[in-house]
């Protein structure tokens, strides 16, 4: 059998398989929806909704694996091939930069499109309707994720009406009411579904291209087996997403037809290229750039559309409006926090003792080494410690000033709008966006390449020929570990002391809003005047005035949130809220601490004075920015200054500890294989935890709101560029 005949057979088989598995969810979803309607009518247990929710979780796992186990390694491999063919030796992480460009490209496209539609009034997003129909959404993402908070349930008379921007926890998986029509689908969902289609289509095109470029029959059949299994699973989950998003079957069939034809088109192109020319550098560069951009768009949609639907749904025990219960199940978590705080204080006190012991033990070794390099390392140690402390504690003075300015209109007059406080609040929002860009750049430009580099070192020393993407697997393990820890803790709390939340009235929905920087002391004082009813009436009047005067203003979101006091339901206290804040902040601290230890270790392992100072410059700028952003996050999260101080002191000493360890290693032994394995594993897992916190804790805080501000996107890009430039200087 000729080679081209085998490729034609593979083309037809892949087309048939993807069409079958891609259209199968139409039947599954329609039957589950009918069963859900019957269960609703008979008041039975929502088995269909749960089953489809589990299928969505399964599809989320497949998309995540496709992103990090398939797409990421392919882009890196293509980049390495291009560098080898062009005889280039570039130390900068080009693949990660291309992926980041695709991420920001689709972010800009989506926010520009939705911003234009919102301004023209073509999209009826929450907050764009008449003032009397506008209900503020929750703005505290540590309690509810954007996907959960963007659908607000309010009771009007005897009926319950749900307004969908993204699916709420009660309508997960797209199983909606019988009267839900295709017109109810949010434009955001439709746009992101198209983005998924484009990203996966480009990936499928290159997968087919790889098969078409094969030159032997055996390798063609082997690659066909792998692609067919992978494509069938992806086609089913993609069809599930489309059937979940669109009510009309013709839309699903159209999109799936486009997706299913991509691999056959790629096979045809590859077969034609093998007949003409192979190994073209221009073709390799084009393939690398397109697949890198496609991977970035895929990452954006994977985290902000697919995983957010389930992971960010807030159904694992987070505090919801009207939810009752005590804090008994969280005593272990509280105890863990107290033990952590005590250990932090102890570690701060014994840090200098440990440093002195290390210096004494290796004093003779250090004297025989390069004394200038050792002195440079000690100077860098104290400079980094001072810089991180200074920038990390700066927000402690800044954020309270913004809070006071932000609440001056509440203290001194009902109708007054403090423009200065509003601007300060908006500026702090932009700083949060910049911090999101900084953390994203740290994840993609610093952490990922470092894990891959350590893996390459291990492979070269042991002469391993493993083709499996071990670094990406370690990152995924860290991601799922932190997901299991957080969801397990929250689910344990919910299952132990959860009760059914009462249906909220319109008044309760209005008062259940806590702005990001609300002054909790002022809020509590406003409810000490009795039942609190006059305060709610004043809040509604001021809310109406706010909507009337700032109806189409960008400031609407910030001013209206500030004018609304926070209403506490029975069992919902600031202590419970701070526990959830504390868990994720602790995750962020641990992830960044591990990373900074390895950064300090890298500096401590340097052997020349010039290399030490060059690395110090990049590390100092990088650490100062991250320290300031972390201080901003912690000050924004906790009301207790002592906790912010403890966390920032802990973070600040991590790099000095790493420098001390690296200096000790250079004095004793270098190039230990066990050290390389431990370093690779720990940093890979730390990168996964950092990835989780970056997307589900920091970026969604700003990208989850419905104003689709282009300025916020530009602020995120600015933060990303800052870290990218420091990496450029370092390389």
Q: What is the pLDDT of residues 90-123, one digit of tens each?
A: 888 888 888 888 888 878 877 776 677 666 554 4
pLDDT band for position 669 (cuts 50, 70, 90): low
pLDDT band for position 641 (cuts 50, 70, 90): confident
Segment 432-461 shows an average pLDDT of 82
Whole-number pLDDT of residue 508: 42
Alpha helices in 168-322 (DSSP H): 187-212, 217-245, 249-260, 262-276, 281-301, 308-310
pLDDT digits (tens, 9 = 90+) for 245-271: 777 788 888 888 888 888 888 888 878
> Would you give the DSSP letter of residue 653?
T
Segment 80-87 shows an average pLDDT of 86
Whole-number pLDDT of residue 494: 65
pLDDT digits (tens, 9 = 90+) for 678-719: 778 877 887 787 787 778 766 776 665 555 678 888 888 888
Residue 161 phi, psi dihedral angles, 5° rounding:
-115, 130
pLDDT band for position 383 (cuts 50, 70, 90): very high
Whole-number pLDDT of residue 91: 80
Tokens of 375: 């002195």
Which of 45-59, 137-151, 176-190, 495-509 has the largest mean confidence?
A: 45-59
In the predicted model, what is the mean pLDDT of the chain?
67
pLDDT band for position 217 (cuts 50, 70, 90): confident
Note the maximum CA span of the chain.
Answer: 88
d(CA 714, CA 706): 16
d(CA 117, CA 187): 9
Closest C-alpha to 595, from 725, 457, 723 = 723
Tokens of 306: 């697919």
Is the C-alpha dihedral spanning 594, 596, 597, 599 positive or negative?
positive
Whole-number pLDDT of residue 386: 92
The H or E element containing residue 136 is: none
User: Residue 649: helix, strand or coil by DSSP?
Assistant: helix
Whole-number pLDDT of residue 593: 80
Check pLDDT > 80 for residue 660.
yes
> Are 28 and 240 within 8 A, CB to CB?
yes
pLDDT band for position 561 (cuts 50, 70, 90): very low
Closest C-alpha to 439, from 71, 68, 100, 95 = 100
The H or E element containing residue 156 is: strand 153-156
Whole-number pLDDT of residue 147: 36
d(CA 338, CA 329): 16
Segment 59-73 shows an average pLDDT of 79
User: Residue 316: helix, strand or coil by DSSP?
Assistant: coil
Task: Give the domain ranges of the chain.
Answer: 3-22+60-125+182-309, 335-410+447-493+570-730, 533-566
Which of 339-348, 486-495, 564-573 has the largest mean confidence?
A: 486-495
Burial string for 177-216 (b: 16+ CB within 10 Å, else e) reads eeebeeeebbbbbebbbebbbbbbbbbbbbbbbbbbbbee
The H or E element containing residue 160 is: strand 159-162
Q: Which residue has the higher pLDDT, 173 or 56?
A: 56
d(CA 308, CA 167): 10
d(CA 547, CA 552): 8
Whole-number pLDDT of residue 216: 78
Check pLDDT > 60 for residue 551.
no
Q: Which residue has the higher pLDDT, 538 or 258?
A: 258
Tokens of 293: 């951009």
Whole-number pLDDT of residue 507: 40
User: Residue 640: helix, strand or coil by DSSP?
Assistant: coil
Q: Which residue has the higher pLDDT, 287 or 136?
A: 287
Q: Which residue has the higher pLDDT, 231 or 574?
A: 231
No. of helices (H) and no. of strands (E), the chain: 29, 2
Q: Which residue has the higher pLDDT, 374 or 160?
A: 374
d(CA 367, CA 363): 6
- Beta-carbon contacts of residue 235 (< 8 Å; ≥ 6 apart): 17, 18, 19, 21, 22, 256, 259, 260
Residue 157 phi, psi dihedral angles, 5° rounding:
70, -120
606 Rama class: left (phi>0) / alpha (psi -120 to 50) / beta: beta
Among residues of the chain, what percentage have pLDDT more than 90? 2
The H or E element containing residue 476 is: helix 470-497
Tokens of 589: 């601290």
Closest C-alpha to 321, from 131, 569, 675, 566 = 569
Tokens of 179: 């009267």
> Are 346 and 649 within 8 A, CB to CB?
no
Whole-number pLDDT of residue 343: 42
Segment 313-342 shows an average pLDDT of 37
d(CA 67, CA 472): 10
> Are 580 and 143 within 8 A, CB to CB?
yes
> Are 103 and 296 within 8 A, CB to CB?
yes
> Are 687 and 451 within 8 A, CB to CB?
yes
> Are 694 and 447 within 8 A, CB to CB?
no
Whole-number pLDDT of residue 428: 65
């Amino acid at each position: 059998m000729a080679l081209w005949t085998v490729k034609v057979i593979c083309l037809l088989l892949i087309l048939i398989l993807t069409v079958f598995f891609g259209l199968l969810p139409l039947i599954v979803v329609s039957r589950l929806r009918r069963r859900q309607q019957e269960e609703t009518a008979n008041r039975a247990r929502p088995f269909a909704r749960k089953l489809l929710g589990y299928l969505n979780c399964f599809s989320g796992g497949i998309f995540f694996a496709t992103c990090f186990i398939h797409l990421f390694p392919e882009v890196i491999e293509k980049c390495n091939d291009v560098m080898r063919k062009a005889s280039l030796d570039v130390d900068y992480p080009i693949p990660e930069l291309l992926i980041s460009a695709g991420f920001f490209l689709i972010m800009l496209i989506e926010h520009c499109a939705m911003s234009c539609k919102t301004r023209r009034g073509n999209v009826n997003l929450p907050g764009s309707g008449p003032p009397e129909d506008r209900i503020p959404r929750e703005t505290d993402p540590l309690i509810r994720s954007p996907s959960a908070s963007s659908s607000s349930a309010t009771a009007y008379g005897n009926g319950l009406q749900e307004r969908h921007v993204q699916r709420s926890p009660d309508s997960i998986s797209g199983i909606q009411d019988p009267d839900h029509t295709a017109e109810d689908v949010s434009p955001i969902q439709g746009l992101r579904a198209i983005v998924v289609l484009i990203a996966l289509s480009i990936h499928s095109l290159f997968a087919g291209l790889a098969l078409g470029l094969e030159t032997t029959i055996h390798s063609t059949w082997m690659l066909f087996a792998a692609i067919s299994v992978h494509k069938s699973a992806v086609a089913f989950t993609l069809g599930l997403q489309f059937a979940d998003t669109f009510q009309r079957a013709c839309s699903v069939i159209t999109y799936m037809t486009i997706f299913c034809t991509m691999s056959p088109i790629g096979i045809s192109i590859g077969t034609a290229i093998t007949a003409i020319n192979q190994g073209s550098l221009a073709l390799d560069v084009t393939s690398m750039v397109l697949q890198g951009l496609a991977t970035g768009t895929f990452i954006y949609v994977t985290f902000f559309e697919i995983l957010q639907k389930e992971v960010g749904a807030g159904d694992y025990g987070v505090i919801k409006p009207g939810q009752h219960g005590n804090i008994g199940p969280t005593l272990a978590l509280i105890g863990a926090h107290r033990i952590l705080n005590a250990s932090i204080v102890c570690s701060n006190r014994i840090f200098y003792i440990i440093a002195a012991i290390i210096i004494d033990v290796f004093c003779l070794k250090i004297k025989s080494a390069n004394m200038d390099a050792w002195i440079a390392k000690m100077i860098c140690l104290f400079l980094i410690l001072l810089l991180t402390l200074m920038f990390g504690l700066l927000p402690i003075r800044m954020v309270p000033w913004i809070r006071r300015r932000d609440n001056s209109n509440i203290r001194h007059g009902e109708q007054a709008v403090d423009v200065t406080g509003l601007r300060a609040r908006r500026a702090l929002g932009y700083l949060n966006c910049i911090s999101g860009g900084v953390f994203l750049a740290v994840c993609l430009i610093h952490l990922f390449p470092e894990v891959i580099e350590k893996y390459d070192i291990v492979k070269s020393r042991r002469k391993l020929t493993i083709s499996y993407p071990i670094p990406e697997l370690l990152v995924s393990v860290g991601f799922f570990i932190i997901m299991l820890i957080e969801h397990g803790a929250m689910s344990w709390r919910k299952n132990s002391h959860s009760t059914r939340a009462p249906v909220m009235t319109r008044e309760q929905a209005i008062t259940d809003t806590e702005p990001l920087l609300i002054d909790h002391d002022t809020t509590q004082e406003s409810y000490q005047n009795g039942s609190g009813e006059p305060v709610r009436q004043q809040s509604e009047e001021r809310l109406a005035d706010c909507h009337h005067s700032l109806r189409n203003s960008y400031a609407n979101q910030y001013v209206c949130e500030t004018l609304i006091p926070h209403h506490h339901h029975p069992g919902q206290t600031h202590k419970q809220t701070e526990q959830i804040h504390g868990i994720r902040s602790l995750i962020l601290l641990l992830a960044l601490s591990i990373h900074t230890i390895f950064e300090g270790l890298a500096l401590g392992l340097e052997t020349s004075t010039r290399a030490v100072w060059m690395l110090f410059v990049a590390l100092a700028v990088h650490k100062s920015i991250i320290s300031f952003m972390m201080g901003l996050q912690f000050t924004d999260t906790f009301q207790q200054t002592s906790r912010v101080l403890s966390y920032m002191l802990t973070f600040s000493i991590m790099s000095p500890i790493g420098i001390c360890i690296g200096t000790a290693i250079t004095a004793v032994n270098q190039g230990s294989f066990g050290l390389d394995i431990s370093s690779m594993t720990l940093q890979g897992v730390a990168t996964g935890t950092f990835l989780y916190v970056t997307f589900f804790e920091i970026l969604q805080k700003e990208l989850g709101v419905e104003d689709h501000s282009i300025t916020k996107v530009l602020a995120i890009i600015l933060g990303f560029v800052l870290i990218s430039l420091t990496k450029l200087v370092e390389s």
